[in-house]
Amino acid sequence: MRIIAGSWRGRNLATVGKGDPGTHLRPTTDRIRESLFSTLSGGHFDDPITDAQVLDLFAGTGALGLEALSRGADHATFVDDGRKAQSLIRQNIASLACADRSRLITRDARRLPANTGAAATLVFLDPPYGKALGAPALAAALAAGWIADKALVVWEDNAPQPPPPGFTRLDSRRYGDTHVTFLRLT
């Protein structure tokens, strides 16, 4: 795994190889990340990355939030309760020397503390597939003040996801077994 573009282009990230099913680590492949970020920056959306406050729920290795930082996001908050994922995120933050622009919350994404900082304008949501964890995590983040008005949500799952209350579906893309649903907080 590597950073695809931006200031850290080509930098390698700590990886779990093909994943760790026991801890539900299933890294987003470079190909899917490249396609996803091409969609984000390709005029479909109004530049959601530059100066963004990013919330990366079920962060895994942190690759999505780190890619956004590399491409001009201001800050990224990573949320994951898995010890292996937390270790990988810490390694990647250290490797890229971006601790001043990052925060790791070691908690279940469905039980976020109240946000005391800036709300996220860009949210990556990549829960374990088929476990119905995405909607509760999104609801918890919204209730705790983590999501800004008009924020863009990028939700990866094994099927297109219906928008939860308060969100509008903008688009959906399929990449093999992965479906990416783009939502906007309305």
Residue 40 backbone dihedrals phi, psi, to 5 degrees: -65, -40
Instruction: State residue 17's pLDDT score.
Output: 58
Residues 3, 10 contacting (CB under 8 angstroms): yes
Q: Domains in the chain: how many in total? A: 1
Which element (helix H / strand E) includes 150? strand 147-157
Q: What is the mean pLDDT of residues 56-67?
A: 96
Q: What is the mean pLDDT of residues 148-165?
A: 95
Whether 104 is in a domain gets the answer yes
Instruction: Name which of 153, 148, 144 is nearest 119 in CA terms.
Output: 148
Residues 141, 133 contacting (CB under 8 angstroms): no
Whether 9 is in a domain gets the answer no
Instruction: State residue 126's pLDDT score.
Output: 94
Q: What is the mean pLDDT of residues 132-146?
A: 97
Whether 45 is in a domain gets the answer yes
Least confident of 26-30, 154-158, 178-182: 26-30
Tell me which residue range forms the domain holding 58: 21-185
Tens of pLDDT along 76-119?
999 999 999 999 999 999 999 999 999 999 999 999 999 999 99
Residue type, 104: L
* Confidence band, pLDDT 50/70/90 cuts, at residue 32: confident
For residue 99, give the CATH number of its domain.
3.40.50.150
Supply the pTM of this predicted model: 0.93
Say which residues have a Cβ less than 8 Å from residue 48's Cβ, sequence separation at least 6. 40, 121, 122, 152
DSSP 115: P
Q: In angstroms, what CA-CA distances link 34 with 31, 97, 120?
A: 5, 22, 22
List the structure tokens of 5: 């573009």
Whether 159 is in a domain gets the answer yes
